[in-house]
A and B are shown apart, each in its own frame.
Chain A
């Protein structure tokens, strides 16, 4: 799953971000209420965010949000119960602990159930905080969004409006404590901008998009976002339906990581142990092209998706998934690790209000050797994909069947040619991985946190008329 930057942030009425120790105490006090024979884990979070949406030079909406949440996991006699709430009100928290306790009476015993145990792996410290985000005035936020919209509309005569242009920011804080002595707390802040320009030509409309995210509002690159968004909107104008063919497809870094994110999800030990991963018995085997090396590494400070600890409070670490196409490992949380007789890989992913499961956190591709401009050379016919549609309905993570809608630009004789739309791309995840014939040297950190490069994949069914 590509990392999502959470926009936790500051309201219009600026309240001082909470005290970390105080939040940790809220979690610890509940853990201290554990009775003999039960394991209790409490995760609590709070934050504030602002979103400004502008349209036609006016503020369309300004949203100020303060949120809080708690998730409580109780394990007793190998039985698991969970309860959550959307407040840190002490009375409700106590009731929530009671609900979690009650819920574990009805689950069945699983001796591998248990909370994470401290494993001695040290946290790689990250500086996720940003005073500059918190000191933004509401007027400044509004002016950034309006400025972006102005830039978008001034770039191309065919673009006279954007569906929405927005600025968002926020801060968030989370604390986790457990009866196993785990105790973590951390805070983060970030900001982002985004736009969806509409390009019109004759009776046709195409929608583009662009976004950027940062911990420093001043480094948001409005010009780049506007340029990219307008390019995306205009380049598909006049697109037609292509004829069906089996051709190579080019995926830009953002789409390459969409594909690899699905693969990484299939490498979750949860899927493997429950017989739902097509890669379950492939450890140590070549499952992808030799050109593919992929690591899941939330410790990369240069990424906006960096994290210190996972959803069970264990230190995040670098986990090599594919080395030159060879499957190196599966991702574990403490429960799947216990079942496999291994140690957690620090890969528990969760929402505060949900249970942790193992999954990818911050995917980083190793850059390839093909120079960007040479990615198309020698490709007599192919498709440079602009966007996928229907990923959630068209990719089956159990069978690996892959069939999604797409649009893009045809590649002819090594050059980008005419735009195409209303087509589908079909293969299997397994075949797509093996079919990678070029990886570019164009590594970039995406706004969502992942680091990726463009890839060229051979022999894919593109269906049109």
Chain B
């Protein structure tokens, strides 16, 4: 049977309870202190420098409407622990879905065997008391919401999209929520826990016309509960997704070649994620696989660029209270006024450099080793009036909405897709353009940003993939202008 990649990490699930004031989230630990101690001791018994246990209990639910019908409700349940043992430069890792002491200590010994060869010291370990990171609690746990209420949202979004225009020939709406409880303890004295609730909704449309078919998509996702829908009108999402497809029916082929590009607020955070975010991950830097290696303290971007990675942004898609190595997340300024301040770090990389982690150690699940990952990455607003930025652009492309992207961190070359874009002619936004990719080189593009607006918006929820692991990330930008991106269109 051909395997499809298992469903990604940005979705999830089921049951709930009431609200207001009282702590909704379960603060109880997944594993007790004596189990944790036994596991860490087993990991260290042959001599090792570091042992860690990561426990995860995850529930998710998703519902999908397609082709005029609520097609399916799917729920998932996953629970297990991953144990990491480090000796010298070698990491051993094993995981198990069985949370019994016996199974966990076996996994710890397997991990220790994997890390053998280094010269650590045998020791017994007692787990530190657990600290629970403070965070804003979801007001309405999705698991306490009737499934019928979730399904009703799908119908509302579909109705709105189809009513928008007769050219809308197909609508898909998807609802997903998840709850991920984690507990992390290690021999450095970290012992903490988090309870992460995410809710998301998306609408995709197809519009059919004389020129063929075009698509539109809108999505919203936050690290909050079902209260998402008191702030978000799913009908409006449906109408916007419909409008995006309709607009493109009349779109002309995108131009080809180097252009000036104005990116709208919220639409283009993925550009920074690709242009420099990945290149500032310390694991890639250490291996010489980043164009930003060895450049801390140097000017790497236009002085208009101040770039932040911020796991603390309450409610945003990439927000958590702790990272997946148990450290409280932080707001890290990566580039300040164009100067590279620091990379992003996880525990392993930080330890080998004798410094502190920046709280960027993340993993897809207990089955994965943590590595350096972004959280919410955004460009701070500047001084320019957004309208002036467009008016000052004689010719170019206005990108209202970007799709996904990809980067080769070794060269810095990156691409990202534009899913809603227009020509700029004589300082005015004019004809809609068909989809296309843009390509640029990170350091060159960062240097060629010559206007940053005084507006700002976060973009759509994303899943960032690296070495086969997907984690939820957010991004945001003000309006900005950049020169020298190459647009992959067919118009000549």
Contacts and interface: CB of A to CB of B under 8 A. Distances in A.
Interface string A155-169: 000000101100000
A104 B70 CA distance: 10
B486 A241 contact: yes
Contacts of B71: 80, 107-108, 110
Interface string A279-302: 000000000000000000010000
Interface string B217-246: 000000000000000000000000000000
A402 to B, nearest CB: 9
A461 B14 CA distance: 48
Interface size class of B (residues with CB under 8 A): 35 or more
B413 A95 contact: no
Interface in B192-206: 206
Contacts of B170: 274-276
A85 B76 contact: yes
A92 interface: yes
A403 B77 contact: no
B408 interface: yes
A64 B94 contact: yes
A326 interface: no
Contacts of A6: 3
Interface stretch (B38-46, B111-119, B373-381, B474-482): B111-119
A64 B114 contact: yes
Interface in B250-282: 254, 256-258
Contacts of A85: 76-78
Contacts of B97: 66-68, 86-87, 89
A371 interface: no
B425 interface: no
A83 B151 contact: no
22 contacts: A58-B89, A60-B90, A60-B91, A62-B93, A69-B6, A83-B75, A86-B80, A106-B73, A106-B150, A161-B287, A163-B289, A196-B289, A350-B4, A351-B6, A351-B7, A389-B407, A393-B417, A404-B415, A405-B414, A422-B413, A424-B487, A463-B487
Interface in B65-87: 66-67, 69-80
Given A163-B287, A298-B2, A351-B3, A422 B75 contact: no
Nearest to B147: A106
B94 A65 contact: yes
Contacts of A393: 403-406, 415-417, 437
B150 to A, nearest CB: 8
Given A1-B4, A59-B117, 19 more contacts: A12-B114, A55-B287, A60-B91, A66-B96, A83-B75, A163-B287, A198-B287, A200-B288, A307-B1, A349-B4, A398-B214, A399-B214, A403-B437, A424-B436, A425-B488, A426-B437, A426-B490, A461-B492, A465-B486
* Most central of A96, A246, A398 by chain B CB within 10 Å: A398
Interface in A260-280: 273-276, 278
Contacts of B257: 244, 463-465
Give the residue among A80, A274, A393, A461 with the most B Cβ atoms within 10 A: A393
A350 B1 contact: yes
B369 interface: yes
Interface string B387-406: 00000000000000001111
B61 to A, nearest CB: 8
Contact of B72 (A4, A80, A463): A80
A281 to B, nearest CB: 12
A367 to B, nearest CB: 23
B343 to A, nearest CB: 16
A217 interface: no
B212 interface: yes
A11 B147 CA distance: 40
Contact of B63 (A106, A244, A298): A106
B287 A422 contact: no
Contact of A407 (B63, B409, B413): B413
